[in-house]
Amino acid sequence: MLEKLEKMDRRLIYLVVFLSLTIPLIWPIGLPVSIGSETRSLYELIDGLPARTPVIVSFDCSPGGYGELSSGAMALLNHMAKKDLRCIGMGFFDTGPSLLEGALASSLYKGKTYGTDYVNLGYLAGGENGISAMAKNILGSFPKDFRGASTAGLPVLQGIAGVKDMALVVTVSSGTPGVAEWIRQVGDPLKVPMATVLVAVNIPNMTPYLQAKQLCGMIPSMKGGAGYEALINMKALGTAGMDAQSISHLAILFFVILGNVIYFAGRNKPAAAKGGGRQ
Amino acid sequence: MSVSTSAGVWIASLATLAIMSFAYKDNPFYRLVENLYVGVSAGHAIVLGWGNIRDLGWTPMVQKGQWILLIPMILGILLYARYFKQVFWISRIPIAFLMGIGTGLSISGIIGSQVVTQAKANIVALNNWDNVVIVLGTFGVLSYFFFLLEHKGVGGAVARFGRYVMMVAFGAAFGSTVMGRMSLFIARLQYLLANWLGVIK
**Assigned domain for B158 exists:** yes
At CB < 8 A and 24+ separation, what contacts does A32-36 make?
Answer: A33/A223, A33/A226, A33/A227, A33/A230, A33/A239, A33/A242, A34/A227, A35/A227, A35/A230, A35/A231, A36/A218, A36/A220, A36/A223, A36/A224, A36/A227
**Assigned domain for A43 exists:** yes
* Predicted local confidence at residue B148, as pLDDT: 86
At A215, which CATH number?
3.40.50.10160
For residues A79 and A111, membership in a common domain is answered with yes
Distance CA A118, CA A151 (A): 12
B121 touches chain A (CB under 8 A): yes
**Assigned domain for B142 exists:** yes
B172 touches chain A (CB under 8 A): yes
Which phi and psi angles does A216 have, rounded to 5°? -100, -5
B38 touches chain A (CB under 8 A): no
Q: Closest approach of chain A CAs to the CA of B93, in angstroms? A: 18
| Residue A218, strand partner residues | A196
Residue A200: list chain B partners with CB under 8 A: 176-177, 179-180, 183
B44 touches chain A (CB under 8 A): yes
* Predicted local confidence at residue A272, as pLDDT: 54
B52 touches chain A (CB under 8 A): yes
Q: Is the Cα dihedral A31, A35, A39, A44 positive or negative?
A: positive
Q: First CA to last CA across chain A, in angstroms?
A: 22
What is the residue-wise DSSP string for A161-212? Answer: -SGGG-SEEEEEESSSSSHHHHIIIIIHHHT--EEEEE-GGGHHHHHHHHHT
Residue B42: list chain A partners with CB under 8 A: none
Distance CA A196, CA A42 (A): 9
For residues A23 and A41, membership in a common domain is answered with no
Q: What is the pLDDT of residues B133-156, one digit of tens each?
A: 999 999 999 999 998 888 889 989
* Predicted local confidence at residue A4, as pLDDT: 82
Measured in whole angstroms, the distance separating CA A270 from the mean position of its chain's CA atoms is 49
Distance CA A182, CA A27 (A): 41
Reported ipTM = 0.87
**Assigned domain for B3 exists:** no
A180 and B102 in contact by Cβ < 8 A?
no
Q: Closest approach of chain B CAs to the CA of A62, in angstroms? A: 10
DSSP at A56: E
Q: How many CA atoms lie within 13 A of A10 on its CB side?
A: 4
Number of domains in chain A: 2
* Predicted local confidence at residue B96, as pLDDT: 96
B62 touches chain A (CB under 8 A): no
Distance CA B18, CA B13 (A): 9
A21 and B182 in contact by Cβ < 8 A?
yes
Distance CA A153, CA B193 (A): 44
Residues of chain B with pLDDT under 70: none
Are A214 and B117 contacting, i.e. CB atoms less than 8 angstroms apart? Answer: yes
H helix and E strand count, chain A: 13, 6
A188 and B118 in contact by Cβ < 8 A?
no
The residue of chain B nearest to residue A212, with distances taken between CA atoms, is B121
Picking from A141, A201, A212, the nearest residue to B117 by CB comes out as A212
Distance CA A224, CA B51 (A): 35
Are A72 and A41 contacting, i.e. CB atoms less than 8 angstroms apart? Answer: no
Number of domains in chain B: 1
- SS3 label, residue B152: coil
Residue B134: list chain A partners with CB under 8 A: 211
Q: Closest approach of chain B CAs to the CA of A151, in angstroms? A: 12
Question: In which domain, by residue range, is A252 found?
Answer: 2-29+246-274
**Assigned domain for B74 exists:** no
For residues A87 and A25, membership in a common domain is answered with no
A241 and B199 in contact by Cβ < 8 A?
no
A248 and B182 in contact by Cβ < 8 A?
yes
Mean pLDDT by 10 residues, chain A (279 residues): 82 94 92 93 97 97 93 97 97 95 96 96 93 92 93 92 94 95 95 96 92 95 95 92 94 93 82 52
* Predicted local confidence at residue A279, as pLDDT: 44
Picking from B52, B113, B120, the nearest residue to A183 by CB comes out as B113
B52 and A203 in contact by Cβ < 8 A?
no
Question: In which domain, by residue range, is B132 found?
Answer: 123-201
For residues A51 and A183, membership in a common domain is answered with yes
A94 and B169 in contact by Cβ < 8 A?
no
Report the b/e string of A82-120 with b at 16+ CB within 10 A.
ebebbbbbbbbbbbbbbbbbebbeebebeebebbebbbb
**Assigned domain for B38 exists:** no
For residues A191 and A264, membership in a common domain is answered with no
Measured in whole angstroms, the distance separating CA A165 from the mean position of its chain's CA atoms is 24
For residues A42 and A23, membership in a common domain is answered with no
B190 and A212 in contact by Cβ < 8 A?
no
Q: Within 10 Å of residue A153's Cβ, how many Cβ atoms?
A: 9
